[in-house]
Amino acid sequence: MNTPTAPSKSTAAFFLQAAIAFAISFVGTLVGIAYLPIDAWQRGFLGMSLLFLVTSTFTLAKVIRDQQEASTVRVRVDEARLDKLIAEHDPFKTAA
């Protein structure tokens, strides 16, 4: 079983470095595609492939993050509390 750990806090410098690295790689790839000696439809295909790759990467990162957050102790305790409340709730019981 995975042992949950406290989530690490990213610094502003790390976030900036990651954003700059992403921007440079994305723009560099776009420029490379633009200057390739190929037909326009081939260039378009590579451009669409790049955009699909970027969006699917963001989606994968979000899914992994959501899965990791769902396995933390705090979330599991909250789910257990909610399950207990639902199990104990009787909708036909009148308030006294």
- Percent of the residues in the chain that have a pLDDT greater than 90, as a whole number: 57
Q: What is the pLDDT of residue 72?
A: 81
Q: How confident is the model at residue 81 (pLDDT cuts 50, 70, 90)?
A: confident
pLDDT mean across residues, the chain: 87
Q: pLDDT: is 72 or 63 the higher one? A: 63
Mean pLDDT of 64-88: 84
pLDDT in tens, 40-65: 999 999 999 999 999 999 999 999 99
Classify the C-alpha dihedral 49-52-58-59 as positive or negative: negative
Q: What is the pLDDT of residue 13?
A: 95
Asked if residue 31 has pLDDT above 80, the reply is yes
The number of C-alpha atoms within 13 Å of 34 and in the hemisphere containing its C-beta is 6
Q: What is the pLDDT of residue 15?
A: 93
